[in-house]
Amino acid sequence: MALATAVKRFGLADVLVRRNPMLYARATRSIRELENEDRRGWIEERLARTLRAAGRTAYGRSVGAPSVLSQWPILEKQQIRERPGDFINGSALLTIGASTSGTSGTPLQLRRSLASVAYEQAVIDRCLEGVGVDPARCRGAVLRGDDIKSPADREPPFWRLANGGRRLLFSSNHLDRGTLYDFVGALRNYAPDVLFAYPTVLDALCALMAERGERLSIPVTVCSSETLSRATCDAAAATLGTRILDYYGQAERVAFASGNPIQGYRFHPGYSVNELHLLEEDADGAVYELIATGLSNERMPLVRYRTGDKIRLAKGADPQAVARGDALFPGIIGRSDDVLISPSGARLTGIDHIPRGVHGVIRAQFIQESPTQVRLLVIPADNFDARSRRLLLDHAAMKLPPEMQVSIEPTTQLVRSASGKAPLVVRRF
């Protein structure tokens, strides 16, 4: 964790990986080509290359390595969870490790090629340029899941500078009524060009500011990683005077869309080949399941991957046009906003990080019985031991204030919702 924090703090990941001069320049050229040239031919060539790469994996060989996309079976998360190595094409050297957020309690272990990481950053930067932000020079405040200091430390500052002063990282888990003026004062003094925020944290900031009659002026706010509501957009416009850009993606990097709940979203053409499978219809439109094939990660190509996300289309919309990125859609639904609520009312994010890297944990689930009592249910493997327990508690101490007591309970069954899902967080108050 310390190394990852240091890399973020000094911006090394930007220079060496996300904006690697050669790979980033190539990705930027590809995006420009998609905007100005024959998109269909470009996508067909990239898809053929992706299918060839997938066909060289153990999984690809097991399904016959078809050269036609429709002949591949739909890929389930559990298949990757059980045998991640079967989806690696060639060597895992010179790749970047990653994992899903684990909203089901069981993160997927993934590998990303360096080229795919640079391409992802180039796509995000292109979206920023579209709302008037210079991604290379902007001053940004970050209200996401960064661990700045112990939750027990209630004295400011709750932030620190990073990337040579171009980022001001906040500890969003310290944000509550008692610290609001410290946060607002730091934001006012720093005067960011853009605020990068989780929607849940943005919502909490705006609600607290509205309650106290506070206002700020931040030109652009960029959200990701959680579902953004129209109500949060309205609150941000009222308290921050800001323009909202929201983007949607996954750790698996198989699809990307950007927009906001007011103006709508659009899939990024060329990022993936998307399939929308109808789930249900109502008076307002229809809900589709997203199956997607990413086109940039040839080291771990995932073909026809069931994302678990649902896309809402307006009544009369053409699902094929939406899938290609030629038409807007109202938004993504069914994604999980897994937070705990502290005794002070703060929405504690990054809860999915607590089980990460702890051996012997098959699945995990947080049951919050009250503002101070959290039960951590663990389905243990054979090697779950006292060290596993200590690590879980140590990780929890980095995310939760000391007045929140965490008890670890081995179990064989997690709590499920009426729909049969076992969410990462269940709140009972």
State residue 68's pLDDT score: 98
**Tally of domains within the chain:** 2
pLDDT at residue 105, rounded to an integer:
52
Assess if residue 263 is contained within a domain: no
Backbone angles phi, psi at 273, to 5 degrees: -105, 120
- Domain endpoint, select from 184, 212, 247: 247
Record the tokens describing residue 162, joined without a space.
């990073």
Return the structure tokens found at 96. Answer: 């970047």
Residue 267 falls inside a structural domain: no
Q: In the prediction, which pLDDT does 301 show?
A: 98
DSSP code for 232: H
Looking at the structure, tell me whether residues 219 and 363 fall in a common domain: no
Within 10 A of 62 (CB to CB), how many other CB atoms are there? Answer: 11
3-state secondary structure 291-339: EEEECCCCCCCCCCEEEEEEEEEECCCCHHHHHHCCCCECEEECCCCCC
Q: Which CATH number do you get for residue 385?
A: 3.30.300.30
Mean pLDDT of 123-129: 96
Question: Is pLDDT of 3 > 70?
Answer: no
Do the domain assignments include residue 40? yes
Residue 15's pLDDT band, with cuts at 50, 70 and 90, is low
Residues 27 and 158 placed together within one structural domain of the fold: yes
Exposed e or buried b per residue across 382-395, where buried means at least 16 C-beta atoms within 10 angstroms of its C-beta: eebeeebbebbeeb
User: Would strands 140-143 and 194-197 be described as parallel, antiparallel, or unpaired?
Assistant: parallel
Q: What is the pLDDT of residues 133-162, one digit of tens each?
A: 999 899 999 999 888 888 889 999 999 999
- Residue 412: half-sphere exposure toward Cβ, Cα within 13 Å: 0
pLDDT of res. 106: 65
Give the structural domain span for 25.
Answer: 2-247
